[in-house]
């Protein structure tokens, strides 16, 4: 006869161990009070599946141009036309960021993070690609002034024209 008592413990074991394997919410580590903290929090949020936090890292104008679902789709499936790499890979390959990549004068309400990528195009020709990621300091009622990624301007400045995915 087979003893089935341990099977009753399975749901409790899953619940007990699910907490130890989850990622901390990005707001615990990334306060977004400077541009680098915002970009690092954005990347961490996407890597760990915290899409609401990632979306909240976008500027108001960017949120008007793109929905949460479109952001997720864009980062996972959009390819850079020059390199053929996914947009997300280009961002990840630029990590770790350092202060030398950031053009920001402390106290100014705008910053630019220069992301660069060296690689090959589809035909194997070596290329160098630089994308300026724009950030702005926005004040909303809650929680106050925070740095946000101006994805709408970033795409427009790369020759993408007006951005409206809605």
Copy the structure tokens of residue 45: 């949020």
- Per residue in 101-150, pLDDT (tens digit) is 667 766 778 888 887 767 777 788 887 777 788 999 998 776 678 899 99
Sign of the dihedral through C-alpha 15, 21, 26, 28: positive
What pLDDT is stored for residue 98 in this prediction? 58
pTM of the model: 0.72
SS3 call for 49: coil
Q: Tell me: pLDDT of 18 over 90.
A: no
CB 152 within 8 A of CB 61: yes
Confidence grade of residue 78 (pLDDT, cut at 50, 70, 90): confident
Question: Peptide bond preceding 143: is omega within 30 degrees of 0, i.e. cis?
Answer: yes
Quote the CA–CA distance of 55 and 41 in Å, as a whole number.
11
* pLDDT for position 16: 45
> Which DSSP state fits 72?
H
- Token pair listed for 84: 């053929």
* Domains within the chain, CATH numbers bracketed: 27-160 (3.10.450)
Distances (CA, A) of 46 to 12, 119, 126: 29, 24, 29
Phi (first) and psi of residue 46, to 5 degrees: -70, -45
Instruction: Kindly state the tokens that stand for 60.
Output: 């108001």
Reduced to 3 states (helix: H, G, I; strand: E, B; else coil), residue 129 is strand
- The predicted-structure confidence for 5-16, as pLDDT tens digits, reads as follows 444 443 334 434
Q: Average pLDDT over the chain, rounded to whole?
A: 74
Q: Is the pLDDT of residue 17 over 50?
A: no
Confidence of residue 84 (pLDDT cuts 50, 70, 90): low
**What is the pLDDT at residue 163?**
46
What pLDDT is recorded for position 131?
77
Alpha helical stretches, state H, 94-160 = 151-155
Q: Are 78 and 89 in contact (CB under 8 A)?
A: no
Query: Looking at per-residue confidence, does 30 or 105 come out higher?
Result: 30
The answer to whether 45 touches 54, Cβ cutoff 8 Å, is yes
């Amino acid at each position: 006869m087979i003893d089935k008592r341990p099977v009753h413990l399975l749901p409790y074991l899953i619940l007990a161990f699910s907490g130890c394997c989850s990622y901390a919410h990005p707001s615990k580590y990334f306060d977004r009070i400077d541009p680098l903290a915002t970009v690092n929090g954005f990347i961490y949020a996407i890597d760990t599946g915290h899409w609401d936090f990632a979306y909240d890292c976008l500027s108001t104008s960017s949120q008007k141009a793109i929905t949460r679902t479109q952001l997720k789709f864009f980062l996972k499936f959009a390819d850079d036309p020059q390199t053929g790499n996914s947009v997300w890979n280009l961002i990840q390959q630029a990590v770790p960021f350092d202060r030398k990549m950031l053009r920001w004068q402390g106290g100014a309400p705008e910053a630019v993070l220069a992301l660069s990528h060296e690689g090959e195009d589809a035909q194997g020709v070596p290329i160098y690609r630089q994308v300026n990621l724009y950030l702005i300091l926005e004040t909303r009622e809650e929680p106050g002034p925070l740095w946000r990624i101006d994805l709408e301007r970033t795409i427009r400045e790369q020759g993408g024209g007006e951005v409206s995915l809605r």
